[in-house]
Amino acid sequence: MRALVGDNVILSVDTQTSSDIGEAIVEWSRKDLAPDIVHLHENRRTIFEHQNPAYRGRTMLSAEDLEMGIISLKLPNVRQADEGNYTCLFKSKENKYFVQLLVGKIATGAASSPVITLEDYTSSGLVLDCRAKGWYPEPKLSWWNADGHLLPAVTMTSNQDPDRLYNISSTVEVEWESLSRPFTCRVHQELGLCSPSSQPLFFLFIGSSLCLGEAHTIRALVGDDVTLSVDTETSSDIGDDLIYWYRKDLDPDVVLLQENGRTAYEYQNLAYRDRTMLSAEDLVRGIISLKLFHVRLADEGKYNCFVRSRENAYSFQMSLLVGGASSPVTTIKHFNSHGVVLGCQADGWYPQPELSWWNADGLPLPAVTMNTTQDLDRLYNIFSTLEVEWESLSRPITCRVHHGLFNQTREREVYYSEGGRSVWDVTHWLMQEFYVKSSCIWSVST
């Protein structure tokens, strides 16, 4: 069993009895501890007086699993000291089970990712230093250029602190000609304990200081207000600095330009005129928050933020993904003696959505037609029809539209409250009794 520091882990063994063992004696222990009891259970009660203090209030058995003959020890907020060999003794059958827990660490907070700084510079280029703290087991560090080629490190050092966590550092020489493209410092572990996917580190060097930022992705829907935010980690007022938000795929490329507290509108791309502003409150704290109002599909792209003061320079990059969604609209296309043909229309979606029909039992219904078009703004409009027999109209029918990238689902529910089929009943239904209920299901990830 492998886990990272801070994880919640379950050590589970199956006694293969397939019966309730909640009243049996279950003892989890570690022979390298004194006292060695991790968790002791008897007659559906936890015995705390013999438990090692390091596990006090941190362990529990799953009562639901015990009823199925499975012994699942829940251990939340794993610590480095939890690593070891665990023995589970199930005394009703005098069987022993052994579980090994390997604990690794990628530190949380700012130290969780490698940090690059300027070590030195010469007539031929720069010497960059990369450091990563609080790792376990011992990690490996490597340098990569923009083409994915491994770069030779000048130095590589690793040491272990009193908590047995590893700190690793390395330097690399970069020629001046190569500084226009990004470099990556990557740290990873063996034993299946891996760091989060490393992002290329983009940097710009001016004067005597170097700052780097990671690439991030922000998602928004058409019509939303969104904030693109980066932290310079200066914790000081940067309101008078040069702040330059831009997109390389635009001409002019300026999204927002501010210097000495003043926005320079004369250089701004017209597509962003009156739609952008910087948060003055965040600038006081060293945070650059670009507020973009009423997002459009054309706003999707890669945004760069360049900041320059007298002493320092910073460069950040992030991507904005834009989607579209709206509630579907249902209509009655026509009807006959057998039933009615319903239509469902959803406009302004992006990326291309899927439309489906469902009955009251949660079963999919076969559509008669399905058509999708794309308008001049690249937004998708989708339309579908469904034949419904009169006997089925007393229960709700749902038209559902969904796309996965933004995890957006919108629904429209229709039903007929009367049971007759006469012309008068149908007319009355069309005029008054065709009830429509809509719902919107939101689940947006950042």
pLDDT tens digits, one per residue of 354-392: 999 999 899 999 999 999 999 988 899 999 999 988 777
Q: In the prediction, which pLDDT does 37 show?
A: 92
Residue 267 pLDDT greater than 80, yes or no: yes
Q: Which amino acid is at 337?
A: S
Q: What is the mean pLDDT of residues 253-270?
A: 88
Which stretch of 91-105, 274-288, 305-319, 427-441 has the lowest confidence by average pLDDT?
427-441
Q: Which amino acid is at 47?
A: I
CATH number assigned to the domain covering 214-322: 2.60.40.10
3-state secondary structure the chain: CEEECCCCEEEEEECCCCCCCCCCCEEEECCCCCCCEEEEEECCEECCCCECHHHCCCCEECHHHHCCCEEEEEECCCCHHHCEEEEEEECCCCEEEEEEEEEEEECCHHHHCCEEEEEEECCCEEEEEEEEEEEECCCEEEEECCCCCEECCCEEEEEECCCCCEEEEEEEEEEHHHCCCCEEEEEECCCCCCCCCCCCEEEEEECCEEEEEECEEEEEECCCCEEEEEECCCCCCCCCCEEEEECCCCCCCEEEEEECCEECHHHCCHHHCCCEEECHHHHCCCEEEEEECCCCHHHCEEEEEEEECCCCEEEEEEEEEEEECCCCEEEEEEECCCEEEEEEEEEEEECCCEEEEECCCCCEECCCEEEEEECCCCCEEEEEEEEEEHHHCCCCEEEEEEECCCCEEEEEEEEECCCCCCHHHHHHHHHHHEEEEEEEEECCCC
Identify the CATH class of 329-442.
mainly beta
Q: Provide the whole-model pTM.
A: 0.45
Cβ atoms of 4 and 106 closer than 8 Å: yes
Residues contacting residue 342 through CB under 8 Å, at least 6 positions apart: 330, 331, 332, 333, 385, 386, 388, 397, 399, 414
Better-predicted residue by pLDDT, 418 or 40: 40
Identify the CATH class of 2-106.
mainly beta
Confidence band, pLDDT 50/70/90 cuts, at residue 346:
very high
The domains of the chain are located at 2-106, 109-198, 214-322, 329-442
Q: What is the mean pLDDT of residues 71-84?
A: 85
Q: In the prediction, which pLDDT does 8 show?
A: 86
Residue 402 pLDDT greater than 60, yes or no: yes
DSSP state of 430: I
Q: In the prediction, which pLDDT does 68 show?
A: 85
Q: Are strands 95-106 and 2-4 parallel, antiparallel or unpaired?
A: parallel
Confidence band, pLDDT 50/70/90 cuts, at residue 156:
very high
Confidence band, pLDDT 50/70/90 cuts, at residue 337:
confident
Q: In CATH terms, are 214-322 and 329-442 the same topology?
A: yes
Confidence band, pLDDT 50/70/90 cuts, at residue 444:
very low
Residue pLDDT, tens place only, 43-73: 888 888 889 999 988 898 888 888 888 888 8
Q: In the prediction, which pLDDT does 214 show?
A: 45
Q: In the prediction, which pLDDT does 416 show?
A: 63
Confidence band, pLDDT 50/70/90 cuts, at residue 10:
confident
Q: In the prediction, which pLDDT does 373 show?
A: 95
Average per-residue pLDDT in the chain?
A: 77
CA-atom Rg of the chain in angstroms: 31
CA distance 332 to 123: 76
CATH topology of domain 109-198: Immunoglobulin-like (2.60.40)
